[in-house]
Every structure is written in C-alpha cells, then in structure tokens.
C-alpha cells in the first residue's frame, strides 16, 4: 500500500520543516517510504521554531501510563486505549475505551461467538520528545493478540495503528468494535464530516451533519470524523480511510446511555499474514487556549488591486475608516499573484509593501488569500508545472469568465508549492497572514496519483487526507511564526470541523454553506447544530460567522452575540461590542449561555434568549435577543445570587434598531437584540 504523504512532525531540531518533508510515514506500518522522498529539497527550510514546542502549546509529559499536553491528559491505565481522556480536568469518558472482539467459538458453536477478555496491556515508550511521543500498547486474549502503535503530538493530536492477530494460524472473528463510553454530559452535541464528497452533498435534502444528539442516540454509516462534546469541550475521532473495514449495518452507534460503538468489521478470517489492521486518531479539545472574543475581527477583502497600481491614491484613509468600523484583519491579494508578480515586477512588490505598511499603521493585519479554486492551468496565477496529479478527484471545476478553475488536493504537490509560496511571501514580501479559502481542511479525494483514494471490487473510494491537511497547516503555522511578530491564519471550514488541521488556525470561518439559513428558522438547522459547528470555544479556535446575509444584519449580530462570537457586521455593532466587552473586562469573565440551566440575567418571556459575561459582585454584560419572527415584550430578570449583587439594574445599553428598552422593560422586534451592562444599583 502506498504511504500517505505525512511529514514527520518532530520539531526538536532546527531544520525540522525541511526534514519534515523528507520523511513520509505510511499510516499502515509507519514505514518511511521513498514515494515522496525527494520532496524536501525544495521545502521551506528556515521557518522553524528553534527547538521545543511552538507557542501557545507546552511540552508533552509522559507519565507511567499516560500522556499529557496543554489542558489535556490521556490516561491509559491497563488498556490498549485510554481509560480517561481529560480536558480541563473533566473526564470525557464514562469508562475505559476498549476493543470488543467476538470470535467463532471452538469446539462448540454458540449464537453470538465468544467475547475476548483482554490481559492487562503493556505500555512501551519508543520515543519521547517535547513535541512527539510514540509508544505501543499490547494485550492478549484467549484467541488473539492486539497491539496499538500510538503517536501523540504537542497539540493533543494522536494516531493509533491497531493490529489484531490470531494466536492460532487463523481465526474467524464475528465482529470487532471500538467502544468509547462517553460521559453523557459531554455527548450532547455532535458533528461529523459529511459522508459525501462536497460536490455531491445535497444541502437541501441530505441529513445535516451537526446538531444536538437525539435522546435515542445517533446511528451513521462510516464517517471520517465524529466529534462529540458540549459547549466547553469535546472529543473528535477520525480516520482517513475506511479501507479494510466491513461494518455490520451502522458504523457509528451512539446509544441512549451515550456509549459509542464503532463497528470495524463483521465476520472475517484473520491469519498471521492477514491480520486485522486499522488506523484512526483521537483529539480532545479545546486544542489551545481561547483568545479573547474580540481578538480577531476579520472582514472579507477590504482593499485590493486598485491600491497596488503605480499612481493609486493613498490607501491610508480607507484603511483607517475600516479600522474605525472595527476591522483588524482582512486580505488584499492572492498569494499566487503576490509571489509571482512580485518576483518579476519590482513596482508591484513595492506597492504591496507600501499597502502592507499602511495597513499595519492602521492596526490591520493584511493577508494573502489562497483558494481551493485558485489553480488555473490557463489563466491567472498559474503555478509552474501544475498537472492533473495536483487535483482533487473527481475533478471539481468552476467555469468562470476568466477561465476554468480547478480544485487542488492538499494531498498532492499543491501542498509543497503552497508552502514554498507562503514562505517566500512571509520572508520577501513581509506578509503577515494568510486567508485559506479551503486548503486548511481535507476534502474527500480519490486521486491515486498523490496517494488519495483506493479502488476495490466495489468501486472507487474517496479518502479524506486529514494528515496532509495537518502537515500543511502545521508547517504554515511555523512559517507564519518565524518572523518578529506572529502571523494570522484564518481558515475557511464551512461545516468541516477537522481539529487535526484547524488546531493551527488562528480563527475559522464557518457557515458559508448555510448562507441565508438562520438557526431555528430553517427546519433542519438548529441552534444546537450551530453551536456544534460554529461556536469554536469547545475547540479553542475562535470562530467567525462569514457574513454573507447582508439582508439581516441585526439577526446576524444577535446570533453572534448570543454565542460569544464577535459580530462582524462592521456597521457600528462591532465597534460598540468591542468597547462594551473591553470596558467590562469580559475576557476574564465567565460566559453563561442560554443553553445553561441558570442565567444571571434573563427575561420573563422564554421566547427570548440571553447570554452573559458574568463577574460575581461586579455584574454582567448580557445579550438578550429575539430569534423569533414576531415582536416580543418582556421584563429583564436578575438572579441576585449568581450576580452577587443586592440591587442589580441596567447601567448601560447598546441596542439594535429593532429594540426598545426602558428600565428593565424590553420590546424586541424579530431579530432584535440588546446588549446591557448590569451592575449594582442604588440601595
């Protein structure tokens, strides 16, 4: 089997990025392959964190039978798999994760086969560095031996290669399951990677891929990623490929008790030369410390080509006006254009640097953009030597006036080309950030030319190049952090929560795929689905709602404010929110959402929703919003105990056009919201 191009991710030496590209690890067998062996010659060499672990992560700590990283502990006890997965001190599991195997009994057949009881597993560390730990767990049962080769990385990412062998020359297994008993309170929300290729995903009719876990549970065919969690934390399971699996019925069964069973196979014969093998990963979140809510205030392109012409007007007044509206980051050019045109046209290079300096002076981080659909063999920004080997398969193209745009795959040579371009842009053109319109995540692909997909008697199957996307993002992160000030990576992910790669994003953009749908105003799009997919806090990755529905700015702002997201309407709301957020000191307050059982500030009408930044003894900064399509009148209510105030009252108000507030009496039109600061009133 061809190795999946997956750079060695160690960072312990200077030169790690270049070295990364030299060593490719096959997911099956962890064997260094020669398949892409000479790639590293052209790879970026200087953008390296010198030793240790990049900010904001901390070195891995290996315990007797555990691995810890920032905010998380994977405790193995005596099993092949973790017995506890702690995030922020809370165990996401209700019991040990385990391998459940039934084998054909001998000599007498039984109805269901014989359950295998596993011996206490050994735990052997093979490599321990601040950024990477590798170890093997091994266990035996009456009929089988099992081994898991584990690789953990500094951000909490893990990969496991599971092998099950018979003790006898051959054995019939009736089924093999991975069982993860989830803590019910951490299995309230779900998200899974769409099971269809993006171009075949029928958003209007296919089941939605995020939501609240129904009481009866969740049952799905094979999915490449499954995240379960709540609004604070969660656990993502992932696998690039279902090759070799043969589930009986549902692959995913999350039952009423929130026991998650992943059925890897039904009946099959395993032998010493054909054991059962499968590679998957686990990643608990949040993956890093959350930034303050107002840290990234990103807007779609605010300035572009017109400001890069030789005699263009001074861009500063426009940039300063954008900054006054609250914008602190945006993109201006395509990275292809920046690098290729900048190389041959000195005037263009100078104009870019002038624009970049003006943006910096205005307080705006200016990015270059790279899109899935940037690659165009005929027209703009053609990378040197692009071939069909670069592209996703089935091929996706957009037929635009300027030519046919193709979609490259992160699994192909696109990745190395892009990283070289990014390194050059950061180094030679003082680039300060990248907006990834797609390549921050993996998309299903079956292009065998670069290691994606597989073909068997049942057809051509796509795989999800999660590790290639992670490799791209990790190396881009290092490149963006090699300069004197940290860069900014904003990744468009629209419905694809993939923590292994998005771990390296400074912010994500969701929701373009559901532009025009508002949660609870669409039959299949719920607020729980919005929280699972868009909120970001449970992943530790700031999330921005891509504002495309300019017809409903107040409803958009209401939804952002209710979910502790910065509203990026830039119509006055953003600046007003930022001022209120900072003057209250909300970045170190406790957020209490409408989904919690108690609220420091609520209303007398349950149709209204409220979310608060709470500082007991000081007060709250609260958003109350009307997500219904009718006007609602209500009184604000105060929980004196939660607020720890004697006589709470409204001290300051920011509101939308659809709002009227007098004292604590509210009148909110459809989509209306009000942001109130509540504090101690007169005795």
Tell me the closest approach of the beta carbon of residue 625 to Zn ion, in angstroms. Answer: 42
Which CB, 463 or 664, lies closer to Zn ion?
463
Tell me the closest approach of the beta carbon of residue 31 to Zn ion, in angstroms. Answer: 20
Give the range of 117-125, 231-239, 442-450, 652-660 binding Zn ion by CB under 5 A: 442-450
Asked whether position 559 contacts Zn ion by CB under 5 A, the answer is no
Tell me the closest approach of the beta carbon of residue 386 to Zn ion, in angstroms. Answer: 14
Give yes or no for a contact between 245 and 278, defined as CB atoms under 8 angstroms apart: yes
Give the range of 33-41, 370-378, 407-415, 667-675 binding Zn ion by CB under 5 A: 407-415
Which CB, 409 or 643, lies closer to Zn ion?
409
Which CB, 386 or 445, lies closer to Zn ion?
445
Which residues 6+ apart lie within 8 Å of 106 measured at CB?
A: none
Closest CA to 259 of 498, 94, 422: 94
String of contacts with Zn ion for each residue 513-552, x by CB under 5 A: ----------------------------------------
Give the range of 162-170, 242-250, 313-321, 443-451 binding Zn ion by CB under 5 A: 443-451
Taking the C-alpha atoms of residue 107 and residue 343, their distance in angstroms, rounded to an integer, is: 75
Which residues 6+ apart lie within 8 Å of 149 measured at CB?
A: 30, 134, 136, 160, 161, 163
Positive or negative: CA dihedral 361, 362, 363, 367: negative
Q: Find the helix or strand (DSSP H, E) in which 577 lies.
A: helix 573-584
Positive or negative: CA dihedral 501, 503, 508, 510: positive
Do β-strands 234-238 and 225-229 pair in parallel, antiparallel, or remain unpaired?
A: antiparallel
- DSSP code, position 4: P
Asked whether position 411 contacts Zn ion by CB under 5 A, the answer is yes
Decide: residue 249, CB within 10 A, 0-12 exposed, 13-18 middle, 19+ buried: exposed
Give yes or no for a contact between 650 and 677, defined as CB atoms under 8 angstroms apart: yes
Q: By three-state DSSP, how is residue 555 classified? A: helix
Tell me the closest approach of the beta carbon of residue 243 to Zn ion, in angstroms. Answer: 14
Tell me the closest approach of the beta carbon of residue 509 to Zn ion, in angstroms. Answer: 22
Which CB, 442 or 625, lies closer to Zn ion?
442
Give the range of 306-314, 322-330, 403-411, 538-546 binding Zn ion by CB under 5 A: 403-411
Which CB, 227 or 407, lies closer to Zn ion?
407
Taking the C-alpha atoms of residue 464 and residue 204, their distance in angstroms, rounded to an integer, is: 23
Which CB, 368 or 445, lies closer to Zn ion?
445
Taking the C-alpha atoms of residue 136 and residue 80, their distance in angstroms, rounded to an integer, is: 8
Asked whether position 612 contacts Zn ion by CB under 5 A, the answer is no
Closest CA to 180 of 242, 91, 64: 91
Give the range of 286-294, 316-324, 445-453, 494-502 binding Zn ion by CB under 5 A: 445-453
Asked whether position 447 contacts Zn ion by CB under 5 A, the answer is yes
Give the range of 88-96, 161-169, 323-331, 404-412 binding Zn ion by CB under 5 A: 404-412
Asked whether position 375 contacts Zn ion by CB under 5 A, the answer is no
Give the range of 161-169, 401-409, 603-611, 647-655 binding Zn ion by CB under 5 A: 401-409
Which CB, 158 or 224, lies closer to Zn ion?
224
Which CB, 389 or 605, lies closer to Zn ion?
389
Asked whether position 409 contacts Zn ion by CB under 5 A, the answer is yes
Which CB, 210 or 463, lies closer to Zn ion?
463
Taking the C-alpha atoms of residue 2 and residue 411, their distance in angstroms, rounded to an integer, is: 13
Give the range of 10-18, 112-120, 280-288, 452-460 binding Zn ion by CB under 5 A: 452-460
Tell me the closest approach of the beta carbon of residue 406 to Zn ion, in angstroms. Answer: 12
Taking the C-alpha atoms of residue 648 and residue 663, their distance in angstroms, rounded to an integer, is: 11
Taking the C-alpha atoms of residue 657 and residue 403, their distance in angstroms, rounded to an integer, is: 43
Q: What are the angstrom distances between the C-alpha of 618 and each of 541, 649, 680? A: 28, 12, 7
Which CB, 53 or 445, lies closer to Zn ion?
445
Taking the C-alpha atoms of residue 281 and residue 314, their distance in angstroms, rounded to an integer, is: 51
Q: By three-state DSSP, how is residue 538 classified? A: helix
φ and ψ of 18, to 5 deg: -65, -45
Which CB, 199 or 361, lies closer to Zn ion?
199
Give the range of 59-67, 417-425, 447-455, 493-501 binding Zn ion by CB under 5 A: 447-455
Tell me the closest approach of the beta carbon of residue 410 to Zn ion, in angstroms. Answer: 7
String of contacts with Zn ion for each residue 83-122, x by CB under 5 A: ----------------------------------------
**Helices and strands, number each (H, E), in the chain:** 11, 40
Tell me the closest approach of the beta carbon of residue 355 to Zn ion, in angstroms. Answer: 35
String of contacts with Zn ion for each residue 412-441, x by CB under 5 A: ------------------------------
Cis peptide before 105 (omega within 30 of 0): no
DSSP string, 189-219: EEEE--SS-GGG--TTTSPPSEEEPPTT-EE
Asked whether position 452 contacts Zn ion by CB under 5 A, the answer is yes
Question: How many positions of this chain bind Zn ion (CB under 5 A)?
Answer: 5
Which residues 6+ apart lie within 8 Å of 523 measured at CB?
A: none
Identify the residue among 178, 235, 366, 445 touching Zn ion (CB under 5 A).
Answer: 445
Tell me the closest approach of the beta carbon of residue 450 to Zn ion, in angstroms. Answer: 5
Which CB, 68 or 193, lies closer to Zn ion?
193
Tell me the closest approach of the beta carbon of residue 391 to Zn ion, in angstroms. Answer: 8
Angle at 285 between CA 280 and CA 286, to 5 degrees: 150
Which CB, 270 or 445, lies closer to Zn ion?
445
Tell me the closest approach of the beta carbon of residue 491 to Zn ion, in angstroms. Answer: 18
Which CB, 85 or 392, lies closer to Zn ion?
392
* Residues forming the site for Zn ion (CB under 5 A): 409, 411, 445, 447, 452
């Amino acid at each position: 089997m061809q190795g999946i191009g997956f750079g060695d991710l160690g960072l312990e030496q200077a030169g790690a990025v270049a070295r990364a590209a030299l060593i490719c690890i096959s997911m099956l067998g962890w064997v260094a392959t020669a398949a892409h062996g000479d790639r590293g010659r052209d790879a970026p060499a200087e953008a390296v964190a010198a030793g240790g672990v990049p900010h904001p992560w901390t070195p891995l700590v290996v315990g007797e039978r555990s691995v810890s990283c920032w905010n998380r502990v994977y405790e193995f006890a005596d099993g092949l798999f973790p017995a506890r997965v702690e995030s922020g001190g809370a165990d996401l599991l209700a019991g040990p994760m385990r391998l459940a195997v039934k084998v054909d009994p001998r000599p007498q057949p039984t109805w269901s086969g014989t359950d295998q009881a596993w011996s206490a597993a050994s735990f052997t560390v093979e490599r321990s560095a601040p950024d990477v730990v590798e170890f093997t767990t091994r266990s035996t049962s009456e009929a089988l031996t099992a081994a898991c080769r584990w690789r953990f990385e500094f951000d909490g990412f893990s990969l496991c290669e599971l092998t099950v062998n018979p003790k006898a020359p051959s054995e019939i297994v009736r089924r093999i399951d991975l069982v993860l008993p989830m803590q019910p309170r951490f299995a309230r929300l779900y998200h899974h990677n769409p099971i269809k290729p993006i171009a075949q995903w029928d958003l209007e009719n296919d089941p939605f891929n995020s939501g609240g876990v129904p009481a009866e549970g969740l049952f799905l065919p094979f999915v490449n990623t499954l995240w379960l969690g709540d609004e604070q934390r969660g656990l993502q399971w992932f696998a690039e490929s279902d090759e070799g699996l043969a589930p009986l019925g549902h692959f995913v069964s999350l039952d009423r008790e929130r026991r998650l069973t992943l059925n890897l196979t039904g009946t099959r014969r395993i032998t010493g030369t054909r054991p059962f093998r499968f590679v998957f990963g686990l990643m608990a979140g949040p993956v890093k410390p959350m930034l303050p809510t107002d840290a990234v205030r990103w807007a779609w392109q605010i300035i572009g080509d017109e400001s890069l012409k030789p005699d263009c007007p001074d861009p500063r007044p426009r940039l300063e006006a954008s900054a006054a509206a609250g914008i602190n980051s945006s993109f201006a050019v395509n990275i292809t254009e920046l690098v290729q045109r900048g190389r041959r046209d000195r005037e263009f290079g100078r104009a870019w640097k002038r624009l970049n300096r003006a943006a910096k002076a205005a307080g705006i981080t200016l990015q270059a953009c790279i899109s899935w659909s940037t690659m165009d063999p005929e027209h703009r920004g053609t990378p040197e030597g692009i071939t069909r080997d670069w592209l996703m398969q089935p091929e996706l193209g957009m037929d635009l006036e300027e030519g046919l745009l193709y979609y490259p795959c992160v699994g192909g040579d696109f990745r190395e080309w892009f990283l070289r371009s990014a390194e050059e842009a950061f180094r030679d053109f003082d680039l300060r950030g990248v907006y990834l319109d797609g390549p921050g995540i993996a998309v299903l692909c079956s292009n065998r030319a670069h290691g994606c997909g597989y073909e068997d008697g049942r057809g051509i199957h796509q795989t999800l190049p999660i590790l290639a996307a992670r490799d791209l993002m990790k190396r881009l992160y290092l490149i963006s952090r090699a300069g004197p000030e940290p860069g900014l990576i904003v990744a468009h992910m629209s419905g694809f929560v993939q923590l292994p790669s998005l771990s390296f994003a400074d912010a994500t953009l969701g929701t373009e795929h559901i532009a025009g749908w508002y949660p609870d105003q669409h039959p299949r799009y719920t607020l729980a689905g919005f929280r699972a997919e868009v909120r970001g806090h449970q992943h530790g990755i700031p999330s921005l709602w891509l504002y495309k529905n300019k017809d409903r700015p107040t409803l958009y702002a209401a939804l952002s404010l209710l979910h502790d997201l910065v509203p990026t309407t830039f119509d006055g709301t953003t600046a007003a929110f930022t001022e209120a957020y900072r003057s209250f000191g909300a970045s170190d307050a406790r957020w209490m959402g409408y989904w919690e059982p108690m609220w420091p500030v609520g209303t007398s009408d349950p149709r209204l929703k409220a979310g608060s930044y709470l500082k007991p003894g000081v007060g709250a900064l609260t958003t109350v919003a009307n997500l219904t399509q009718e006007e609602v009148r209500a009184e604000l209510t105060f929980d004196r105990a939660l607020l720890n105030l004697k006589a709470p009252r409204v001290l300051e108000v920011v509101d939308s056009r659809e709002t009227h507030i007098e004292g604590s009496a509210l009148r909110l039109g459809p989509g209306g919201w009000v942001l109130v600061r509540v504090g101690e009133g007169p005795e």
